[in-house]
Structure 1
Amino acid sequence: MMTAPRITAKNIVVKIGGSTLGSHDTTLGDLVALQQQGITPVVVHGGGPVVTAWLKRQGVEAPFVRGLRTTTAESLDVVTAVLTGLVNTALVAGIQRAGGRAIGLSGVDGALIEARMEDPELGYVGQVTNVRTHVLETLLSGGYIPVVSTVGFNPSAKGLPNTLNLNADTVAGKIAAALGSDRLVFLTDVEGVKDSDGSMLPHLTPPDAQRLIENGTASGGMIPKLEACLTARAQGAEAWIVDGRVEHMLLSALSSAPVGTQVW
């Protein structure tokens, strides 16, 4: 395990992308290195590729609308089982095997993340309405890394499911904003944000990031990441989008090395 460089930020949120879960060996060690330095981050994880594989294995269809995957009652069961039962447990076990202390939870536990369904076309997909930070603060004060799967609690079900599928990037941004975090780091499967010519953009101001969203330069999964960066930045956090497939990228980003894209 790599020794963590001296890092001044103490309140950190790390989003591990589903597309990097197969390359997270050093990331989990990095998290433990931070913990041993007295920095206990909050981890939010996705799991899209694993969910897709299990939907296919179970023969459950999840059609796309406007390029976004819908969540039906049947696919919500698979999403919940995979994110909270498989992916979350594997990450917690990996952190603890590396010598760390972690507790896994979903947005349902302690009503950590409340959400409501806003777009019927997308089915049971929720928009975050509230983050109960005291749930995370209790774990952090006990010395545990909270590992959050992105299934949210629907407090006003009214015939709808009690749980909703949430976008993990959005959740990470909302948690960072609610906690007043110093840093938000997205570990993804690309180098960072690129301009229309494909050139890396090492630094973005919030207006820059908003412009990339509005003019279509940012597309697909990069849009919710930039939106989450803006959400967190509005509450004072510095945000990074970096390539989580690179060894020890988390420590590099937190030590302000010139990697990926920083939104500041």
Structure 2
Amino acid sequence: MDITNANRAQVLVQALPYIQKYAGKTVVVKYGGNAMVNEDLKDAVMSDIVLMQLVGINVVLVHGGGPEISGMLKKIGKESRFVDGLRVTDAETVDVVQMVLAGKVNKDLVQLLERHNGRAIGLCGLDGGMIKAKKLAAQEDLGFVGEITQVNTDIISHATANGYVPIVATVAGGENGEVYNINADIAAARIAAEMGALKLILMTDIKGLLADKDDENTLIPVVNVSDVPKLQNQGIISGGMIPKIDCCVEAVRRGVSRAHIIDGRIPHSILIELFSDEGIGTMFC
């Protein structure tokens, strides 16, 4: 479909109040799922972030890298094992996590954003004492899976103040020099709260929270965090959605204005959420 100049102008006019609203504010994006794998979607995400940066938004990109970690473990003949969605991380595995997340995945994303004419700096939770953690208390010993004890965003703020997009890999440091694997959703929520972000956006491979998980037409566009326990009791929030929504609730309770779960399979889903009246996905407020 050809877009006319009048349509283009209308799109820009509709975006203007949002651009004004977000200028100088912080938006934390958790990047994961299919949008990290599909080349066209990767390009769309990077161009979204460059545009956000150009209109004065302080963007912080927090990323996972589960498939790449599993791939590297397979190469060294080690099987990936998960308990309640968390990777069992022994001493050998945490070395691979640090190498893949803070090394290859992080620097690949920096290079990709730079190729789209953005300015990026790659960081991890070990840099500047950004994320401190202790061993996660769980029914089964998960090894070096961490629970965040402290977040210091000074280094992130310095980067955004100097015109860089901080790209953050979620490994954290322990009291005695241990390295911990941290869930990227949880890390993004804590970073957003610590920075007083206007928005936290979690990119996923689903449309958002559905009233009927088998019917994408039952999207619930807005959820008040006080309604979340009721939705859990009704079984609407279940399975893998529970930890993601817990992160959104935690972020809002800690002062983030809005938290969103959006469909990263849709090109430019971040821009649709930020700069259109309709938005996309499910918003928690």
Taking the aligned partners of 1:105 and 1:226, their CA distance within structure 2 comes to: 26
- Determine if the alignment matches structure 1 residue 20 to structure 2 residue 41: no
User: Match for residue 221 of structure 1?
Assistant: 240
* CA deviation after TM superposition for structure 1 residue 66, in Å: 4.2
Q: Write out aligned runs for 1:199-218 (5 A).
A: 199-213=218-232, 216-218=235-237
- Determine if the alignment matches structure 1 residue 104 to structure 2 residue 122: yes
- Determine if the alignment matches structure 1 residue 171 to structure 2 residue 187: yes
- Is the 2:30–2:188 Cα contact (8 Å) retained in structure 1? yes
User: Match for residue 195 of structure 1?
Assistant: 211
- Determine if the alignment matches structure 1 residue 261 to structure 2 residue 277: no
**Mean alpha-carbon deviation: is it higher for 20-29 or for 204-213?**
204-213
Q: Secondary structure at the match of 2:219?
A: coil
Please tell me the residue identity of whatever aligns with 1:262: M
Match 2:268 to one of 226, 248, 252: 248
Cα deviation digits, residues 200-257 of structure 1 (max 9, x gap):
1111110223433455433343222211111211114201111112111101111253
Taking the aligned partners of 1:179 and 1:67, their CA distance within structure 2 comes to: 27
* CA deviation after TM superposition for structure 1 residue 172, in Å: 0.6
**Mean alpha-carbon deviation: is it higher for 56-65 or for 165-174?**
56-65
* TM-score, normalised via structure 1 length: 0.91
Taking the aligned partners of 1:192 and 1:72, their CA distance within structure 2 comes to: 33
User: Match for residue 125 of structure 1?
Assistant: 145
User: Match for residue 65 of structure 2?
Assistant: 47
- Is the 2:62–2:168 Cα contact (8 Å) retained in structure 1? yes
- Is the 1:188–1:243 Cα contact (8 Å) retained in structure 2? yes
Residues 25, 59 of structure 1: CA spacing in aligned structure 2 closer, same or farther, 3 A cutoff?
same
* TM-score, normalised via structure 2 length: 0.85
Taking the aligned partners of 2:77 and 2:237, their CA distance within structure 1 comes to: 33
User: Match for residue 11 of structure 1?
Assistant: 26
User: Match for residue 114 of structure 1?
Assistant: 132
* CA deviation after TM superposition for structure 1 residue 129, in Å: 1.1
Number of residue pairs matched by the alignment: 259
Taking the aligned partners of 2:229 and 2:59, their CA distance within structure 1 comes to: 27
* CA deviation after TM superposition for structure 1 residue 18, in Å: 3.9
Gaps of 5+ in 2: 1-7
User: Match for residue 136 of structure 1?
Assistant: 156
Please tell me the residue identity of whatever aligns with 1:109: D
User: Match for residue 149 of structure 1?
Assistant: 169
Please tell me the residue identity of whatever aligns with 2:240: G
Q: Secondary structure at the match of 1:193?
A: coil
Taking the aligned partners of 2:165 and 2:233, their CA distance within structure 1 comes to: 36
**Mean alpha-carbon deviation: is it higher for 61-70 or for 25-34?**
61-70
Residues 240, 67 of structure 1: CA spacing in aligned structure 2 closer, same or farther, 3 A cutoff?
closer
